[in-house]
Chains A and B, each alone.
Chain A
Amino acid sequence: MAKDTYLKKVLGEERFNHIKASKVLMVGAGGIGCELIKNLMLTGFGEIHIVDLDTITLSNLNRQFLFRQKDINKSKAMILVKAVEKFNYFDCKLIPHHGNIMNTELFPISWWSSFDYIYNALDNVEARTYVNSIALFLKKPLMESGTTGFQGQVLPIYPYQSECFDCIPKDTPTTYPVCTIRSTPSKPVHCITWAKEFLFMQLFDEVQILSPEKLAEQRKILESETTDKKEIDNLMNETNELNDLRKLTSSTIEEFMDNLVNKIFVKDIEKLIRIDSLWKYRKQPVPLDYATYNSELSSMVKSTSSDVLHNETKVWSILENLYVLYQASKSLIDRIQSGEKFISFDKDDDDTLNFVVSASNLRSSIFGIDVMSKFDIKQIAGNIIPAIATTNAIISGFSDLQSLNYFKSYELSNQDANTVFVSMKPNRFVARATLASPNPQCASCSLSSRGIMSLSSLDGTLQELIDNIKEFYKYEDISLILGKNKLIYDFDFEDNVDRSLNSLGFKSGETLLVQDDNDELENLELYIIIGEEFKLPELTLRAKKVFKEETDAEDDEPIEEGVVDDIIEVEPPIKKQKV
């Protein structure tokens, strides 16, 4: 019996042949990629390209099961292909690429257009957004997938027919206002951010250090403002204080430690307390009583037997935190003194992590905030999302299965596929939902059209291009934004019209956003390639949609689409839950 007998039966002869003839792309060879590649191969795809820019590290090995210890530091994409060759039963052509998927020279649009289907197995929003935009430019089906801990989701994307990646608002990582971080922390994360992004950076990382000339200049400005010499000195000090501490990295550890603790945990806190209005409604911080710990700390330092540093899950006492701060500072200034110009925070660099853990814990205790273990702080400081192999495996399975639907008819409008969620909710381990229509306010797919613009040369002027675009699409007045944020032309800004496209930064792989200055037609996003002749994409632009300012949009409309309409129950529920 042939190896593919059952596969043919399960998929149906026609779909099986389609899959065999298809060329697909898998972006990412990490947690999901390692799982997904075997699924795709065993589904019978004819050709699979794998892209990843990363190399293998020790921390990958617990879940990225295709990699071994001997593979550390080697390319993920290359090793992955080698590892799966052993079970390449259906003679799949496997092509690895070691590189950044967003690199337009390595991966030009012509390369992208050769694929029938794109599978994302990525771990960051930036790359996902990029692949999504390519899928929109080329109208290619895309399978989005992701996991965090016990939760995971796959989302099939049919450009302009169903929700795209940008249609769904993202929870962006929270940033904290400078006031909270510097003066009024109330959560452990505020102190961790302070220790990592402010204190550690100022002391050890590459920061702009004001030159003596710049300082003299500042002083002059201040002198023109006031004659009060004491105040000038005070203001200048504020700028200087951290500079001074940084200089201490070249002195002894005792001197460094005493100065650091006295400034950061005593004097600065006393200064804050004097601003009494801050503490009207808040609990006042209590400066560290450094003197009481002094003798115990020095005897702890002398006895070399302390194993505090190795206990990562225990919540350290104040004395223990001081000890860790001492040891971490010692290692860090040793490193600076033996030639490292600056040191950046890295969760895997234990000296930097220990410094941040102890400094943030000491600050927490001053402000009456919970002190945490090194293990817990590492998760927060390193932005670590726990990765669970089982979730990755389940999600990769759905990623493959939900894509099979497309290979029946190759129709983008065929939306039988589902988005699938996996979570740990009792009786709802797996839930699926029909695909939602594109979000009408999505700037990427609903409010603009996209296409590929071919330029025959970059020597022409901007004016010529403007005239061509206006005439072709019947725009009256336009504005042009090149790349991420470069406004090169609008009604009020005509400085560049006589310059060549080349000098303005036009190049293959760049995007140009055209907006209607008269608000009649929708936006147009053009992907630039250099070709034989000048050619604009044939598109009929829709009228521009105008939305009224949202007031309280959250409660206005009931959610109609995308509701969970089917639940696969793993165990019969005792009580039916309402959906």
Chain B
Amino acid sequence: MAKKGAAQSLKAGSKPKSQSTGGKADKQKTDRRKSNEPAVEKAIDGKEEEWEDADSDENDKQPAPQPISGKETKKRKAVGEELSEEDSDSEDSEDDEEEQGGVDLAAIDDSESESELDSDGEPEKKDDEDDEEEIDVEELSAEDEEDEEQIAAGTRVRQTINNKEGLLTALRRFALDTNPKTVPFAFHQSIVSSKKTEDSIPSIDDDLQRELAFLNQSLEAARQGRALLRKEGVPFTRPTDYFAETVRSDETMQKVKAKLVEVATAKKAAAEARKQRDLKKFGKQVQVQKQQERAKQKRETLEKINQLKRKRQEGGSSALGATEADDIFDVAVDNELASHANKAGHNSKKRSAGDHGQPNAKRQKKNAKYGFGGKKRFAKSGDAVSSGDLSGFSVRRMKKGGKAPRLGKSRRKAMAAKK
């Protein structure tokens, strides 16, 4: 704040002019507020306009920090750089107030071209902003106080410097002539695309979209460039028999190629594996289906037999002594059974290779008596599964050593007596 005072006294000389223009700037400021959006920056003709523009930028910042880059701020938040975003925003607006005096001192010192305009613009800005500053200071949050501390500690603080006039002069001083009417394209080979690439990027985080936008910009330029160069008769395409050193060595390209191949094979292998997995899954389904089918068939057969048996019984009761009929039914049942057995046998033969059914009763008895099926040693020793089984483990008991152990009888009695 002391600095500011110094600056003001320094610039006292240029006060009259500034005041005469102050009203204008003021009006402009209110206009900006109403529209509440940054003015479209036009080409700057004179110095006066230039500082006014800068001034209004400053003023815009007061009501709403950084309305200029509001959109960009949002975007940056999306990028995830917001960590110190809030901080820096508030800081910026703050610092502009805090440091204006100091900046202008510096500007006066080292820049001849801008010193006058800055000094012109400065005092009236102060006048305008003085009342606003009070309000802002009141609105400051704890965070801002922290920033103030930072400033006090001498942290370097950034502020807006965008001396458009200076930039344009500098540009004029060193720019090459790239006027398409007088200069052939082959001279500079640069193409400025007609539209902004940023507009075609939905989100800066989306790598694919972003790179595609960049690529499209370059592709358009390449097409245009080729057309222009052909028109000027400049060789463009490299002939086949022209060999020369390339930017990337053959070794690198070999590696690139190897990697491409590797990626392709990996992809292929993955696809193959997936196919196998799917087949396996499908095979299992088929198996289950077959089993169900078999079970159903069996059920049906048994039902049929039962039916036949019932019929026979009924027949027997209705027509007593019809032994021949009995025989006939028996035959029918036998046939049924045989057919079923045939089917079952067909299946069981297949199955017999894998699992055996239950052994007979005698064998079971013997197995139980004498033991069968591998050794009995180490049956109770731990293995991977048992050591991996932590179901009986409790963190609390591990930490606290469980509940206190039960004391001896005499001691328990003593405790009870104490109570």
Q: Do A and B come from one complex?
A: no
Q: Which residues of A contact B (CB under 8 A)?
A: none
Q: Which residues of B contact A (CB under 8 A)?
A: none
